[in-house]
Amino acid sequence: MKNWLRQNLWRHVIGISICLFSLFPLYLVVISSFNSAGSLQLTSFIPTEISFKNYQVLFNDPTIPYLKWVKNSLIIASSVSLLSVMIGTASAFAFSRLKFKGRKTGIQLLLLVQMFPAILAISAVYVIMERVYNFAPAIGLGTQPGLMLVYLGGAMGVNIWLLKGFVDSIPAELDEAAKIDGASEVQTFWLIFVPLASPVLAVVALLGFIGTFNEFILARLFLVDMDTRTVAVGLQQFIGGQYSQNWGPFAAGSILASIPIVIIFLSLQKYIVSGLTAGSVKG
């Protein structure tokens, strides 16, 4: 017992301390969502009163279209996630397996673009989408489809490089065997690559969904109309004003908005484990 205390007790103390430190912000948000005062100040570590006033504000106040914000976030995040996986998968397969002029230069340019922070392109993207609005209002500045196009453009480089690394690990003998059987490049892509890459595709889709669902800067810049906002932009109005900070509804909305992400994460958990460790193929 003495040896265990001397050798392992400090490890458990450090581990428990790190867990408590990491969970405290989440605990503070949960407690604040049930605090009728609408503040982050805790009078006691264990609350003596639980109020659902903040949740009622989200659903009963006609000036706060919370459900529409959540719907907008789900639509945008789902669309961007699926489209980025489809485009990234096809592009990764082309760069890895097909031979065409400019292949090496194209993949190097994708890597070069990813070296620069995305925040540097915000001004240029704003000007471009503002001019796009003049001749194509449906996909220009202030529209959800326009925001999706910007998200897709920013995610392509990372997704293609991630998926290309996985495609390179698939033995080329499978492609050759498919060609001998008379399969075309499209059939090889759908019948061989996509089934084998399903774990990593699930990981890319999940990361894309979470990143888009939680994104704030571009969504705040693009979506001005109250009904077109995402949940991240909509909730910001509760804490955006200097004298109108109301953390209670903000915390309640954050808790409810995290439920879809948790559900999707748990649903794809088995694919995430295999996808993150993917790198070899059983033949």
79-94: average pLDDT: 90
Query: Is 181 domain-assigned?
Result: yes
Query: Is 70 domain-assigned?
Result: no
State which of 73-87, 131-145, 147-161 shows the largest mean pLDDT. Answer: 73-87
Q: Are 129 and 140 in contact (CB under 8 A)?
A: yes
What percent of the chain clears pLDDT 90, i.e. is strictly above it?
12
The pLDDT score that the predictor gives to residue 42 is 66
CA nearest 162: which of 207, 215, 129, 125? 207
Separation of CA 12 from chain center: 33
Q: For residue 187, give its domain range.
A: 79-276
Confidence tier at 111 by pLDDT (50, 70, 90) = confident
* Other C-beta atoms lying within 10 Å of the C-beta of residue 50: 10
Query: Is 68 domain-assigned?
Result: no
Query: Is 23 domain-assigned?
Result: no
Q: Which residue has the higher pLDDT, 240 or 261?
A: 261
* Other C-beta atoms lying within 10 Å of the C-beta of residue 153: 14
Count of domains forming the chain: 1
- 32 vs 239: CA distance, rounded Å: 14
Separation of CA 198 from chain center: 18
37-43: average pLDDT: 69
Mention every residue, 6+ apart, whose C-beta is less than 8 A from residue 175: 97, 188, 192
Query: Is 154 domain-assigned?
Result: yes
Confidence tier at 265 by pLDDT (50, 70, 90) = confident
Average pLDDT value for the chain: 83
Query: Is 164 domain-assigned?
Result: yes
User: In Å, what is the CA distance from 181 to each residue of 5, 24, 162, 190, 192?
Assistant: 65, 59, 29, 15, 13
Query: Is 271 domain-assigned?
Result: yes
- 205 vs 78: CA distance, rounded Å: 9
Confidence tier at 230 by pLDDT (50, 70, 90) = very high
> Model-level pTM greater than 0.75?
yes
Reduced 3-state DSSP string for the chain: CHHHHHHHHHHHHHHHHHHHHHHHHHHHHHHHHCCCCCCCCCCCCCCCCCCCHHHHHHHHCCCCCHHHHHHHHHHHHHHHHHHHHHHHHHHHHHHHHCCCCCHHHHHHHHHHHHCCCHHHHHHHHHHHHHHHHHHCHHHCCCCHHHHHHHHHHHHHHHHHHHHHHHHHHCCHHHHHHHHHCCCCHHHHHHHHHHHHCHHHHHHHHHHHHHHHHHCCHHHHHHCCCHHHCCHHHHHHHHCCCCCCCCHHHHHHHHHHHHHHHHHHHHHCHHHHHHHHCCCCCCC
Confidence tier at 283 by pLDDT (50, 70, 90) = very low
Query: Is 26 domain-assigned?
Result: no
The pLDDT score that the predictor gives to residue 277 is 54
Q: What is the CATH number of the domain that holds 90?
A: 1.10.3720.10
pLDDT at 276 over 90: no
